[in-house]
Structure 1
């Protein structure tokens, strides 16, 4: 199983670069950041834009894959996101995975003056959004007219480094959004209760689509970063469900949730990663 680390785009830039480089040196497979304008308890703290943040990290690393966890239709348009992702694919020399989700009901949902959509509306918007991004990244010119988006002969030149396009990882937790995963995604991103994840994993099994499965590990009662043994136990359980990748949040001692010892990141790299390879 491949293992990745999620960094929040909130720290001073030199600290973020140094940490990203160290994560790459330790042998982790991928590095992710949240794509929000502001986020939950960090709303009144520094928070950088995801694509420029990842572009800077791409310029200072050489091997580790990079990704958005996840880009949101709440404040993004398929054309501009596709263009930025295509460009980042070039800057990173083909190391980008574009994570996309339905968008929640938090700050990002209303910051541009729009209203909060119902779950059904967000699921329909996600399907149209992902389908449009998929087409844009595959074709040099594309048009689209739908319920939520209009595209008039958008140019996507020179196209992606990765062919036929860079990978799309779609976050999904329900039946409708899983249908979008099955239609378009190269990878499925999920988190939350294991029982729900098992149901959705079974849906993916039944579809016959062999795509990557990425678990974003939370820091609930199991506390997977409490020890190497706890981490390997979590990895083992989800490997049995066909998961190919696991991503954990880098500990932040002053954060009320991610309170584990940051030294565990190095301990996992030295004691767990060799066993998983």
Structure 2
């Protein structure tokens, strides 16, 4: 089981650098950040753009993988995102994982004046978005004409450091996006059923089992080994508090490892945050017990 930490791109840069270096030194496998223009309770707080922020972290770290959790078509075009991701893959010496999802209905969805899409429309758009991203990142010259995107002879030279392209991790919960994950992704990201009324540990685990079964079936239909996909669980904002103690986290990780997950990512606790209220030093204690051991 690999462990990762999600950092918000909101702190003064020296503090972000110090925290990223510390987490890398502790042995965490990957660091992630949200890709939003603004976000929930931090809408009126400092909030930096994900790709430049990760590029900065790439320059001050040397081992830890970096990723978006997740970028989406909500305010991005696949050609521009592919070019930025390719560049970050080079700057980081092949340490980027590009997390991608359908996008939601919050601030990002309305800031450019676009209509808010239904879940089906967002899934349609994501399917084409990922198809185009995959084609761009695998090619040095690429064209496409579809319902949502037109690409005319895009140049992607010199290509990715990681071959055949940098890894894509897809956030997916429903049958359509899980099928897309089976077709294109190197990793699957989930945190259960975010809109379900029951967010108890048992209900979340049951939802994840259902999702995993669908993903396995979709992989099998394509002749793909389901074990070839990394499976990343993002610890959600639920009643369960796995960061309450090292023992609670170890139990949590054991349960999700038994469900077939290869990676667990948790939000770095933040002093003053109303949700992630744990002591930030829990990350040190977890590393001492689960990573260094």
TM-score, with structure 2 as normaliser: 0.92
Residue by residue over 1:48-69, the C-alpha shift from the partner in whole angstroms, topping out at 9 and shown as x without a partner, is: 0000000000000000000000
State the partner residue of 1:263.
Answer: 281
Residue by residue over 1:34-55, the C-alpha shift from the partner in whole angstroms, topping out at 9 and shown as x without a partner, is: 0000011111100000000000
Instruction: Give secondary structure in 1 for the equivalent of 2:188.
Output: strand
Q: Distance in 1 between the 2:149 and 2:90 partners?
A: 26
Q: Distance in 2 between the 1:71 and 1:234 partners?
A: 27
Extract unaligned runs of 5+ from structure 2: 193-203, 221-225
Instruction: Give secondary structure in 2 for the equivalent of 1:36.
Output: coil
Q: CA RMSD in A?
A: 0.9
Instruction: Give secondary structure in 2 for the equivalent of 1:144.
Output: strand
Q: Distance in 2 between the 1:248 and 1:202 partners?
A: 24
- 8 Å CA contact retained: 1:222, 1:230: no
Q: Distance in 2 between the 1:220 and 1:196 partners?
A: 14
Task: Verify: 1:153 aligned to 2:153, yes or no.
Answer: yes
Shift of 1:204: 1.8
Residue by residue over 1:154-193, the C-alpha shift from the partner in whole angstroms, topping out at 9 and shown as x without a partner, is: 1001000000000000001111111110110000000032
State the partner residue of 2:36.
Answer: 36
Task: Verify: 1:130 aligned to 2:130, yes or no.
Answer: yes
Shift of 1:273: 1.8
TM-score, with structure 1 as normaliser: 0.97
Q: Distance in 2 between the 1:74 and 1:205 partners?
A: 28
Instruction: Give secondary structure in 2 for the equivalent of 1:225.
Output: helix
State the partner residue of 1:178.
Answer: 178
State the partner residue of 1:163.
Answer: 163
Shift of 1:253: 2.3
State the partner residue of 2:211.
Answer: 200
State the partner residue of 2:199.
Answer: none
- 8 Å CA contact retained: 2:11, 2:46: yes
Q: Distance in 2 between the 1:219 and 1:22 partners?
A: 24
Instruction: Give secondary structure in 2 for the equivalent of 1:112.
Output: coil
Stretch moving more, 240-249 or 186-195: 186-195
Count, aligned residues: 275
Q: Structure 2 matches for 1:95-114, cutoff 5 A?
A: 95-114=95-114
Moved over 4 A (4+): none
Q: Which one of the candidate residues 232, 235, 238 is aligned to 1:220?
A: 238
Task: Verify: 1:238 aligned to 2:256, yes or no.
Answer: yes
Shift of 1:219: 4.0
- 8 Å CA contact retained: 2:35, 2:50: yes
